[in-house]
């Protein structure tokens, strides 16, 4: 087991009083598993994976990731665990506009102080079909190309768990299908655990397990 969440609750204050986003979430994710988190907008999907990845803390409950209890750590310690074990792919790509494609992919390895970051980044860009776009800036790339750079960057950290939040959400159907194929091919090659938030039925159907959220609770 690589992720275990126990009795996760998340409540935030609003002008109308406390708002419950997650309530009583229990979830275990095995090593190498692919899991899709689905549900209507506002059901708590993005909040849940943010907590599982250590980007956010729950109001109650605890989360273990790769043997570390994230909920017992301060932000500095959680950041260290994220750097060692977690990769991210976002709907909005989140590439740094001032860096070229290869520099964006190099970033996780450089932050860890790894040797050979550039060679590794160029190899990953080649694997996602963008070797000839390495020196291009994000503004010079299509949406599908930017997402492929984002995927290469996520795998550059050799993550134990890759979290993806609507990775095909900003892509047309054809480009989204290519990104899905790429994501699962690299996931298999790297033997990574994959946790996805998606509205894309094609993407959910490729996963080994689907969890559905409704009003902050797991319903299926």
Tens of pLDDT along the chain (220 residues) come to: 999 999 999 999 999 999 999 999 999 999 999 999 999 988 999 999 999 999 999 999 999 999 999 999 999 999 999 989 999 998 888 999 999 999 999 998 888 788 889 999 999 999 999 999 999 999 999 999 999 999 999 999 889 999 999 998 888 888 888 888 888 988 888 889 999 999 888 889 999 999 999 999 999 8
Cα separation, 156 vs 89, whole angstroms: 12
- Cut 0.85: pTM above it: yes
Q: Tell how strand 217-218 and strand 209-214 pair up.
A: antiparallel
Contact by Cβ (8 Å): 150, 91? no
Alpha helices, DSSP H, located in 86-172 = 101-112, 117-127, 143-156
Cα separation, 189 vs 112, whole angstroms: 22
Cα separation, 104 vs 95, whole angstroms: 7
| Run of H or E including 5 | strand 3-12
Cα separation, 135 vs 137, whole angstroms: 7
Measure Cα distances from 170 to 34, 94, 101, 121, 200 in Å. Answer: 21, 12, 19, 24, 11
Which pLDDT score, from 0 to 100, does residue 115 have?
A: 83
């Amino acid at each position: 087991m690589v992720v275990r969440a126990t009795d996760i609750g998340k409540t935030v204050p609003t002008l109308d009083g406390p708002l419950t986003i997650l309530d009583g979430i229990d979830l275990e994710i095995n090593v190498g598993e692919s899991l899709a988190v689905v549900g209507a907008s506002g059901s708590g999907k993005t909040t849940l994976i943010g907590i599982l990845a250590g980007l956010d803390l729950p109001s109650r409950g605890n989360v273990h990731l790769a043997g570390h209890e994230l909920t017992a750590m301060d932000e500095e310690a959680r950041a260290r665990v994220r750097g060692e074990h977690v990769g991210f792919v976002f709907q909005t790509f989140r590439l740094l506009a001032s860096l070229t494609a290869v520099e964006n992919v190099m970033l996780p390895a450089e932050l860890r102080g790894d040797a050979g970051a550039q060679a590794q980044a160029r190899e990953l860009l080649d694997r996602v079909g963008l070797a000839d776009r390495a020196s291009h800036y994000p503004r010079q790339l299509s949406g599908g190309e930017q997402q492929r750079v984002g995927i290469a960057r996520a795998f550059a950290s050799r993550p134990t768990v890759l979290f993806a939040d609507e990775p095909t959400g900003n892509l047309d159907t054809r480009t989204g299908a290519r990104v899905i194929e790429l994501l699962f091919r690299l996931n298999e090659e790297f033997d990574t655990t994959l946790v996805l938030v998606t509205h894309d039925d094609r993407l959910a159907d490729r996963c080994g397990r689907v969890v559905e959220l409704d009003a902050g609770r797991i319903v299926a």
